[in-house]
Amino acid sequence: MDSPSSSPKPLGKSDIQRFIRRVICPAIVDETCPICLRTIDIPGAAVLTVCFHAYCLDCIRNWSDLKRNCPLCNSTFDSWFYKIDLSSLRYLKQQLPAISDCKSAIPRPRFTVSDRRRIIERTRREINDVNRRTRPLPWRRSFGRPGTVSPLVIAERKLQWRASVYNRRLQAVPIYHGNGFQQNVPRIRNDFEKEKLLQRIEPWIQRELEAILGDPDPSIILHVVSSLLFSRHEGKHDDSSASSTQLSFVNDNFLASLEPFLHDQTNMFWHELSS
């Protein structure tokens, strides 16, 4: 059932326009659908009314046939905003029928976290199979159009993206160069090279730690990570054993000093740093 952009107490035109600018627009512009991992196409977007998380309409529609909880925050939803037009500042709200109204009433088991992940992966595969034939992949991840989005907004979007990577436990894959995987372990010969490496990698480390911990000033942990990083780079550099050396750092409890801070994200953080 579709209804115009309204609520039980009708919103004024200025209220609707303000709502679109402040809530709907930031949720969909240059954002990625958490289900199919593609940039959301605004005419085909859907924003859940309960939590304002945005998805491709086809993705969340397929998901809603299986479950009525937001894939990101698990909030129960029964409607979404769609047919969003940012030029005219209009949208529609679609109220969903109860699952039992559109399908035979079949007893449904409670979904566990692993069940939820499997549903997301299955839905993602199905959507990607269709989209692969109808829409080209973006050539790079987009966090905002240059000149239209402030650097602070872009930085925050990157931070949210990296946090989602850790939450989903997605890992970087080493680059394969025909005769083996590239190991990104540069040699450090002097203090100048050490300082140069620190200047290059420190902003990345700080962003990753903030994404994991939600702490905008992880300076103490940054020092611990830097010490571990230099210990690694100043250790053995035999190219033939680079892979086994990298694994031994984890196996030998090399990361023990990080575990009190990063807990179960420790190994994944080090994997991302080492890739």
SS3 176: strand
SS3 209: helix
Which tokens hold the place of 73? 């925050």
Neighbouring C-beta atoms of residue 250, cutoff 10 Å: 14
Q: Which residue bears the tokens 């050490």? A: 194
* pLDDT at residue 52, rounded to an integer: 92
CB 268 within 8 A of CB 169: yes
With a CB cutoff of 8 Å and minimum separation 6, the contacts of 243 are 181, 183
CB 155 within 8 A of CB 64: no
Which tokens hold the place of 244? 């086994």
* pLDDT at residue 10, rounded to an integer: 57
Q: Over the stretch 141-175, which tens digit does the pLDDT of each residue have?
A: 566 666 676 777 777 777 787 877 777 777 666 55
Neighbouring C-beta atoms of residue 56, cutoff 10 Å: 24
Give the residue from 63, 31, 64, 65 showing the smallest Cα distance to 45.
Answer: 31
What b/e readout covers 94-108, taking b as 16+ CB neighbours within 10 angstroms? bebeebeeeeeeeee
What residues in the chain have per-residue pLDDT under 50?
Answer: 5-8, 103-109, 131-140, 176-177, 179-183, 236-252
Q: Could you tell me the pTM of the whole model?
A: 0.39
In the chain the domains, ranked by start, together with CATH numbers, are 2-134 (3.30.40.10), 151-274 (no CATH)
* pLDDT at residue 260, rounded to an integer: 81
Quick one: 48 exposed, middle or buried, by C-beta within 10 A (0-12, 13-18, 19+)?
buried
Say how far apart CA 221 and CA 264 lie, in whole Å.
15
Say how far apart CA 251 and CA 171 lie, in whole Å.
19
SS (H, E, C) 84-118: EECCCCEEEEEECCCHHHHCCCCCCCCCCHHHHHH
* pLDDT at residue 214, rounded to an integer: 78
* pLDDT at residue 207, rounded to an integer: 86
Distances in whole angstroms, Cα of residue 157 to Cα of each of 27, 47, 81, 150, 151: 11, 17, 22, 11, 10
SS3 191: helix
Say how far apart CA 117 and CA 209 lie, in whole Å.
25
Which tokens hold the place of 228? 């571990």
* pLDDT at residue 6, rounded to an integer: 42
